[in-house]
Amino acid sequence: MSFLEVKDLQVYFPIKGGIFNRTVDYIKAVDGVSFELEQGKTYGLVGESGSGKSTTGRAIIGLEEVTSGQIFFEGKDITDKKAKNKNFRKDVQMIFQDPYSSLNPRKRVLDIVAEPLRNFEKLSKQEEKKRVQELLDIVNVSTDSIYKYPHEFSGGQRQRIGVARAIALKPKLIIADEPVSALDVSVQAQVLNFLQEIQKELNLTYLFISHDLGVVKHMCDNISIMYKGRYVEQGSTKDIFENPQHIYTKRLIAAIPDIDPKNRDKQFKFRQEVAKEYRESYDTYFDGDGLAFGLQSISNTHKVALPEKG
Protein backbone atom coordinates (compact mmCIF):
# COMPACT_ATOMS: atom_id res chain seq x y z
CA MET A 1 0.00 0.00 0.00
CA SER A 2 1.57 3.21 -1.09
CA PHE A 3 1.02 6.57 0.55
CA LEU A 4 -0.61 8.28 -2.39
CA GLU A 5 -1.31 6.55 -5.63
CA VAL A 6 -2.70 8.16 -8.73
CA LYS A 7 -3.88 5.80 -11.45
CA ASP A 8 -4.47 6.97 -14.98
CA LEU A 9 -5.84 10.35 -13.86
CA GLN A 10 -7.75 12.30 -16.47
CA VAL A 11 -9.18 15.79 -16.04
CA TYR A 12 -11.02 17.15 -19.06
CA PHE A 13 -12.59 20.57 -19.33
CA PRO A 14 -15.52 20.81 -21.71
CA ILE A 15 -15.48 23.39 -24.48
CA LYS A 16 -19.00 24.71 -24.87
CA GLY A 17 -20.24 26.10 -28.12
CA GLY A 18 -22.68 25.87 -31.00
CA ILE A 19 -26.43 25.93 -30.64
CA PHE A 20 -27.82 25.21 -27.13
CA ASN A 21 -24.35 25.53 -25.63
CA ARG A 22 -23.47 21.91 -26.25
CA THR A 23 -20.14 20.42 -25.34
CA VAL A 24 -18.28 20.42 -28.62
CA ASP A 25 -14.86 19.26 -27.44
CA TYR A 26 -12.66 18.78 -24.43
CA ILE A 27 -9.44 20.34 -23.28
CA LYS A 28 -7.42 17.44 -21.96
CA ALA A 29 -5.71 19.22 -19.10
CA VAL A 30 -4.54 15.97 -17.54
CA ASP A 31 -4.56 13.02 -19.86
CA GLY A 32 -3.69 9.75 -18.21
CA VAL A 33 -1.20 10.42 -15.45
CA SER A 34 -0.07 7.77 -12.97
CA PHE A 35 2.36 8.06 -10.10
CA GLU A 36 2.98 6.97 -6.54
CA LEU A 37 4.30 8.93 -3.61
CA GLU A 38 6.20 7.59 -0.63
CA GLN A 39 5.81 9.19 2.75
CA GLY A 40 8.45 11.69 3.80
CA LYS A 41 9.77 12.42 0.34
CA THR A 42 9.44 15.33 -2.01
CA TYR A 43 8.11 14.86 -5.49
CA GLY A 44 8.54 17.45 -8.15
CA LEU A 45 6.03 17.99 -10.91
CA VAL A 46 7.52 20.12 -13.64
CA GLY A 47 6.12 21.45 -16.86
CA GLU A 48 5.45 24.55 -18.88
CA SER A 49 2.34 26.64 -18.33
CA GLY A 50 -0.75 24.78 -19.38
CA SER A 51 0.88 21.38 -19.10
CA GLY A 52 -1.64 20.32 -16.46
CA LYS A 53 0.65 20.18 -13.47
CA SER A 54 -1.47 22.48 -11.31
CA THR A 55 -4.63 20.72 -12.42
CA THR A 56 -3.14 17.42 -11.28
CA GLY A 57 -2.52 18.84 -7.83
CA ARG A 58 -5.93 20.45 -7.64
CA ALA A 59 -7.63 17.23 -8.75
CA ILE A 60 -5.91 15.30 -5.96
CA ILE A 61 -7.11 17.70 -3.28
CA GLY A 62 -10.57 17.94 -4.85
CA LEU A 63 -10.71 21.40 -6.35
CA GLU A 64 -11.19 19.95 -9.84
CA GLU A 65 -13.60 17.26 -10.90
CA VAL A 66 -11.83 14.06 -11.94
CA THR A 67 -13.00 12.87 -15.36
CA SER A 68 -11.66 9.37 -14.99
CA GLY A 69 -8.94 7.47 -13.18
CA GLN A 70 -8.47 6.80 -9.52
CA ILE A 71 -6.69 8.37 -6.59
CA PHE A 72 -5.80 6.33 -3.52
CA PHE A 73 -4.67 7.95 -0.30
CA GLU A 74 -3.30 5.50 2.25
CA GLY A 75 -5.08 2.72 0.40
CA LYS A 76 -8.49 4.40 0.37
CA ASP A 77 -10.11 5.45 -2.87
CA ILE A 78 -10.68 9.20 -2.61
CA THR A 79 -11.40 9.91 -6.28
CA ASP A 80 -14.99 10.85 -5.62
CA LYS A 81 -15.66 14.21 -3.97
CA LYS A 82 -17.85 12.58 -1.34
CA ALA A 83 -15.01 10.28 -0.36
CA LYS A 84 -12.89 13.25 0.60
CA ASN A 85 -13.93 13.06 4.22
CA LYS A 86 -12.72 14.90 7.26
CA ASN A 87 -9.64 12.75 7.72
CA PHE A 88 -8.54 13.34 4.17
CA ARG A 89 -9.06 17.08 4.52
CA LYS A 90 -6.97 17.03 7.63
CA ASP A 91 -4.15 14.97 6.15
CA VAL A 92 -3.80 16.70 2.82
CA GLN A 93 -3.22 20.42 2.59
CA MET A 94 -2.29 22.81 -0.13
CA ILE A 95 0.00 25.80 -0.45
CA PHE A 96 -1.24 28.18 -3.10
CA GLN A 97 0.74 29.92 -5.75
CA ASP A 98 -0.37 33.48 -5.18
CA PRO A 99 0.24 34.75 -1.66
CA TYR A 100 -1.84 37.83 -2.45
CA SER A 101 -5.13 36.12 -3.19
CA SER A 102 -4.85 32.98 -1.09
CA LEU A 103 -5.37 34.85 2.19
CA ASN A 104 -8.77 36.36 2.81
CA PRO A 105 -8.16 40.12 2.80
CA ARG A 106 -10.91 40.72 5.34
CA LYS A 107 -9.58 38.34 7.95
CA ARG A 108 -6.88 38.88 10.51
CA VAL A 109 -3.89 36.56 10.64
CA LEU A 110 -5.34 34.96 13.75
CA ASP A 111 -8.55 34.04 11.92
CA ILE A 112 -6.70 32.89 8.83
CA VAL A 113 -4.32 30.54 10.60
CA ALA A 114 -6.99 29.38 13.04
CA GLU A 115 -9.48 28.49 10.29
CA PRO A 116 -8.38 24.83 9.96
CA LEU A 117 -8.11 24.54 13.75
CA ARG A 118 -11.68 25.75 14.15
CA ASN A 119 -12.86 23.20 11.63
CA PHE A 120 -11.20 20.20 13.19
CA GLU A 121 -10.26 20.89 16.77
CA LYS A 122 -12.38 22.28 19.52
CA LEU A 123 -10.06 24.72 21.23
CA SER A 124 -10.77 27.51 23.63
CA LYS A 125 -9.95 31.05 22.54
CA GLN A 126 -6.78 31.04 24.63
CA GLU A 127 -5.55 27.66 23.38
CA GLU A 128 -6.33 28.66 19.84
CA LYS A 129 -4.35 31.86 20.13
CA LYS A 130 -1.45 29.98 21.65
CA ARG A 131 -1.45 27.45 18.81
CA VAL A 132 -1.54 30.23 16.22
CA GLN A 133 1.37 31.93 17.91
CA GLU A 134 3.33 28.68 17.91
CA LEU A 135 2.62 28.20 14.23
CA LEU A 136 3.66 31.75 13.39
CA ASP A 137 6.78 31.15 15.41
CA ILE A 138 7.58 28.08 13.30
CA VAL A 139 7.23 30.06 10.08
CA ASN A 140 9.21 32.99 11.44
CA VAL A 141 6.46 35.56 11.34
CA SER A 142 6.48 37.84 14.35
CA THR A 143 3.94 36.46 16.82
CA ASP A 144 2.60 39.84 17.84
CA SER A 145 1.20 40.40 14.37
CA ILE A 146 -1.76 38.07 14.83
CA TYR A 147 -4.18 40.97 14.75
CA LYS A 148 -2.86 42.39 11.51
CA TYR A 149 -4.52 42.03 8.15
CA PRO A 150 -2.82 40.28 5.20
CA HIS A 151 -2.20 43.50 3.29
CA GLU A 152 0.14 44.63 6.04
CA PHE A 153 2.64 41.89 5.16
CA SER A 154 5.17 41.40 2.40
CA GLY A 155 4.77 38.64 -0.17
CA GLY A 156 7.24 36.35 1.57
CA GLN A 157 5.57 36.82 4.94
CA ARG A 158 2.19 36.19 3.43
CA GLN A 159 3.37 33.00 1.80
CA ARG A 160 4.74 31.86 5.14
CA ILE A 161 1.40 32.62 6.76
CA GLY A 162 -0.10 30.41 4.05
CA VAL A 163 2.37 27.72 5.03
CA ALA A 164 1.50 28.13 8.70
CA ARG A 165 -2.15 27.58 7.82
CA ALA A 166 -1.29 24.51 5.76
CA ILE A 167 0.72 22.86 8.54
CA ALA A 168 -1.69 23.82 11.33
CA LEU A 169 -3.35 20.40 11.33
CA LYS A 170 -0.06 18.51 11.00
CA PRO A 171 -0.95 17.07 7.61
CA LYS A 172 0.82 14.18 5.99
CA LEU A 173 0.84 15.47 2.45
CA ILE A 174 1.23 19.03 1.27
CA ILE A 175 0.54 19.93 -2.30
CA ALA A 176 2.65 22.98 -3.01
CA ASP A 177 1.40 24.64 -6.17
CA GLU A 178 4.29 26.84 -7.30
CA PRO A 179 4.76 28.10 -3.76
CA VAL A 180 7.63 30.40 -4.58
CA SER A 181 7.05 31.53 -8.15
CA ALA A 182 5.36 34.75 -7.03
CA LEU A 183 8.20 35.67 -4.68
CA ASP A 184 11.48 37.33 -5.43
CA VAL A 185 14.59 35.23 -5.44
CA SER A 186 15.97 36.07 -2.00
CA VAL A 187 12.64 35.25 -0.42
CA GLN A 188 12.31 32.10 -2.53
CA ALA A 189 15.38 30.60 -0.89
CA GLN A 190 14.01 31.52 2.53
CA VAL A 191 10.68 29.83 1.95
CA LEU A 192 12.23 26.75 0.30
CA ASN A 193 14.74 26.17 3.06
CA PHE A 194 12.01 26.60 5.54
CA LEU A 195 9.81 24.06 3.76
CA GLN A 196 12.68 21.58 3.93
CA GLU A 197 13.18 22.22 7.64
CA ILE A 198 9.58 21.56 8.57
CA GLN A 199 9.58 18.51 6.34
CA LYS A 200 12.13 16.89 8.62
CA GLU A 201 10.32 17.98 11.74
CA LEU A 202 6.86 16.83 10.74
CA ASN A 203 7.78 13.99 8.34
CA LEU A 204 5.88 15.72 5.57
CA THR A 205 5.44 14.54 2.02
CA TYR A 206 5.49 17.24 -0.62
CA LEU A 207 4.04 17.22 -4.07
CA PHE A 208 5.98 20.14 -5.37
CA ILE A 209 4.54 21.72 -8.49
CA SER A 210 6.84 24.11 -10.26
CA HIS A 211 8.12 25.31 -13.58
CA ASP A 212 11.50 26.21 -12.13
CA LEU A 213 13.94 23.36 -12.59
CA GLY A 214 16.50 24.98 -10.31
CA VAL A 215 14.02 25.04 -7.45
CA VAL A 216 12.94 21.49 -8.13
CA LYS A 217 16.53 20.22 -8.21
CA HIS A 218 17.11 21.87 -4.85
CA MET A 219 13.99 20.44 -3.26
CA CYS A 220 12.99 17.12 -4.73
CA ASP A 221 13.92 13.45 -4.47
CA ASN A 222 11.88 12.49 -7.51
CA ILE A 223 10.86 14.49 -10.51
CA SER A 224 8.20 14.08 -13.14
CA ILE A 225 8.14 16.15 -16.29
CA MET A 226 4.76 16.93 -17.77
CA TYR A 227 3.90 18.09 -21.24
CA LYS A 228 0.41 18.70 -22.63
CA GLY A 229 -1.26 16.72 -19.86
CA ARG A 230 1.00 13.69 -20.08
CA TYR A 231 4.16 12.56 -18.40
CA VAL A 232 7.20 12.57 -20.62
CA GLU A 233 9.74 11.48 -18.06
CA GLN A 234 9.72 10.33 -14.48
CA GLY A 235 12.71 9.51 -12.30
CA SER A 236 14.93 10.43 -9.41
CA THR A 237 16.48 13.87 -9.47
CA LYS A 238 19.77 12.28 -10.49
CA ASP A 239 18.15 10.40 -13.38
CA ILE A 240 16.48 13.50 -14.72
CA PHE A 241 19.39 15.90 -14.44
CA GLU A 242 22.27 13.60 -15.33
CA ASN A 243 20.65 11.20 -17.70
CA PRO A 244 17.71 12.88 -19.39
CA GLN A 245 16.28 10.60 -22.03
CA HIS A 246 13.37 12.49 -23.53
CA ILE A 247 14.08 15.34 -25.87
CA TYR A 248 11.64 17.61 -24.02
CA THR A 249 13.49 17.04 -20.76
CA LYS A 250 16.78 17.71 -22.49
CA ARG A 251 15.48 20.99 -23.82
CA LEU A 252 14.26 22.05 -20.40
CA ILE A 253 17.62 21.26 -18.85
CA ALA A 254 19.48 23.00 -21.65
CA ALA A 255 17.39 26.07 -20.94
CA ILE A 256 18.62 26.42 -17.35
CA PRO A 257 20.81 29.51 -17.42
CA ASP A 258 24.46 29.13 -16.42
CA ILE A 259 25.89 32.31 -15.01
CA ASP A 260 29.55 31.32 -15.39
CA PRO A 261 30.88 33.23 -18.42
CA LYS A 262 33.59 30.61 -18.97
CA ASN A 263 30.95 28.09 -19.91
CA ARG A 264 29.15 30.47 -22.23
CA ASP A 265 30.37 28.98 -25.48
CA LYS A 266 29.95 25.45 -24.22
CA GLN A 267 26.38 26.17 -23.12
CA PHE A 268 25.58 27.83 -26.41
CA LYS A 269 26.86 24.84 -28.36
CA PHE A 270 25.00 22.42 -26.12
CA ARG A 271 21.78 24.33 -26.64
CA GLN A 272 22.23 24.33 -30.38
CA GLU A 273 22.82 20.61 -30.36
CA VAL A 274 19.71 19.99 -28.33
CA ALA A 275 17.68 22.25 -30.58
CA LYS A 276 18.96 20.38 -33.63
CA GLU A 277 18.17 17.03 -32.07
CA TYR A 278 14.70 18.30 -31.22
CA ARG A 279 14.01 19.28 -34.81
CA GLU A 280 15.38 16.07 -36.26
CA SER A 281 13.94 13.55 -33.86
CA TYR A 282 10.61 15.19 -33.02
CA ASP A 283 8.69 12.30 -34.56
CA THR A 284 10.45 9.70 -32.46
CA TYR A 285 9.34 11.38 -29.25
CA PHE A 286 5.86 12.66 -30.05
CA ASP A 287 2.91 11.04 -31.80
CA GLY A 288 0.90 12.50 -34.65
CA ASP A 289 -0.96 14.93 -32.36
CA GLY A 290 2.23 16.23 -30.78
CA LEU A 291 1.53 14.34 -27.56
CA ALA A 292 3.91 12.20 -25.58
CA PHE A 293 3.79 8.38 -25.76
CA GLY A 294 3.19 6.04 -22.85
CA LEU A 295 5.92 5.63 -20.25
CA GLN A 296 8.49 2.85 -20.65
CA SER A 297 10.75 1.81 -17.79
CA ILE A 298 14.42 2.09 -18.56
CA SER A 299 15.64 1.44 -15.04
CA ASN A 300 14.15 0.81 -11.61
CA THR A 301 13.58 4.47 -10.96
CA HIS A 302 13.51 5.96 -14.40
CA LYS A 303 10.63 5.99 -16.89
CA VAL A 304 10.52 7.74 -20.23
CA ALA A 305 7.73 8.29 -22.73
CA LEU A 306 8.90 6.46 -25.82
CA PRO A 307 7.04 4.67 -28.58
CA GLU A 308 6.75 0.96 -27.94
CA LYS A 309 9.47 -0.88 -29.73
CA GLY A 310 7.95 -3.51 -31.89
Cβ proximity to other proteins: between 94 and 187 the closer is: 94
Q: How many residues bind other proteins, per CB under 8 A?
A: 35
Cβ proximity to other proteins: between 28 and 89 the closer is: 89
Q: Which of 82, 106, 200, 279 binds other proteins (CB under 8 A)?
A: 106
Cβ proximity to other proteins: between 144 and 308 the closer is: 144
Cβ proximity to other proteins: between 63 and 256 the closer is: 63
Cβ proximity to other proteins: between 86 and 200 the closer is: 86
To other proteins, the closest distance from the beta carbon of 271 in angstroms equals 36
Q: Which of 51, 55, 97, 205 binds other proteins (CB under 8 A)?
A: 97
To other proteins, the closest distance from the beta carbon of 166 in angstroms equals 8
Contacts with other proteins in 65-94 (CB under 8 A)?
A: 86, 89-90, 92-94
Residue 284 touches other proteins, criterion: CB under 8 A: no
Contacts with other proteins in 127-146 (CB under 8 A)?
A: 129-130, 133, 143-144, 146
Distances (CA, A) of 257 to 3, 106, 213, 214: 35, 41, 10, 9
x-or-dash string of contact with other proteins, 141-170, rule CB under 8 A: --xx-xx-x-x----------x--x-----
Residue ranges binding other proteins (CB under 8 A)? 61-63, 86, 89-90, 92-94, 96-98, 101-108, 115-116, 119-120, 129-130, 133, 143-144, 146-147, 149, 151, 162, 165
